[in-house]
Structure formats: structure tokens, C-alpha cells
Amino acid sequence: MFEDTCRCSRIHVKAVRDSMSITSLIEAGIVATNWLGIEIIRRCVDTNSHRVVAWALFLIDGLQVVCVIGFAVAGQFVLALAVFWLLTTVVGPRSPLELAWMNQNLASNVRATVFSLQGQVSAIAQIVAGPIIGIIATAFSTRTALITSAIVLSPVLLLYVYTLRRKKPLTVSDESETINNL
């Protein structure tokens, strides 16, 4: 009986060690791909150009939608992991790039307010959409919920298209004129 207990303990320790190795490998991949994404943006994107940053954000968000769908439909662990690492490569530089883009187009007297509002809207969207996506996952499947999430993320691409079609960046005074004309 003692031998059976020792054998089970060794098997359990090996399973935990293997699990930790896989988790460590995935985490190392996340760090490496995140760094890679940030480095690519640092070298290839002129953060002083409104159009270049808007294009970069359009590509990042478009690839994020594609990666979420790819992760949802991946039938194998290795494929899902590759898509997940691509997603972390893409999403890593998004936040700093978005902040740089917003800094280009906001007057200093409203910048802090807009950043705060952005954080609040993001939190509210997560609070509202999270349970809805959870219900979809429970009622149908995780795959369906992930695809729904990608669909929910996709309208932002239209805003980038609108921004890129403008001859000049939209400024605070332009927005005020547009609101007053309504």
C-alpha cells in the first residue's frame, strides 16, 4: 500500500511539474510576443504622423478581430496557441499607440477628461458585455461567444476608416462646430 501511495505521489508531482512547464512556456511566449509587437511598432510606426498611427491602430484592431475568430475556430492546441501568441503580439503595443494618437488630437485642457472618460466607457462596456457574452457561452458554446466578441469588436474598424478618409485630423474645434451645426 505504501508503494502505491509513493507511485501516485510521483505521478502527481510529475503532472504538476509538466503543467508548470507548459504554463511557463506559454507565459514566456506571451512576454516575448508582446515585446516583439512593441518593438515592431517602435521601429516601423511614425508616432508623430496622425495617418500612420491611425493605420497602425486599424491594422492592430483588424488583426485582433481575426485572431479572436482564429482562436475560436482553432481545433488544435498548437494552432490555438499560435493564434493566441499572434494576438499578444498585436495587442501589446495597442495601448501606448492609442495614447499617442489621442495625445496628437486632444487639446491639453480636455486631455485628462477624455482619458478618464475612455477608461470609464471601457469599464462600463466590459460590465455590460461580459455577462451577455457569458450567457452566449453558456447557452451555445465558448466558440460562439468568442466569435460574438470578435463581431462586437469589429465596428471600431469603421471609425478608423472614417478617420483615414478625412483630409486632416479631427480637432476639438471641428467637433464643436459639428455639434453646433446639429
User: Angle 142-153/50-73 helices, nearest 10 degrees?
Assistant: 170
The model's pTM: 0.76
CA-wise closest residue to 90 among 49, 149, 160, 40: 40
Q: What would be the CATH architecture of the domain defined by 2-167?
A: Up-down Bundle (1.20)
Mean per-residue pLDDT, 165-174: 63
For the chain, the structural domain boundaries read 2-167
CB 83 within 8 A of CB 65: no
The chain-wide mean pLDDT, for the chain, equals: 83
- Considering only residues 21 and 11, tell me which one the structure prediction assigns the higher pLDDT: 21
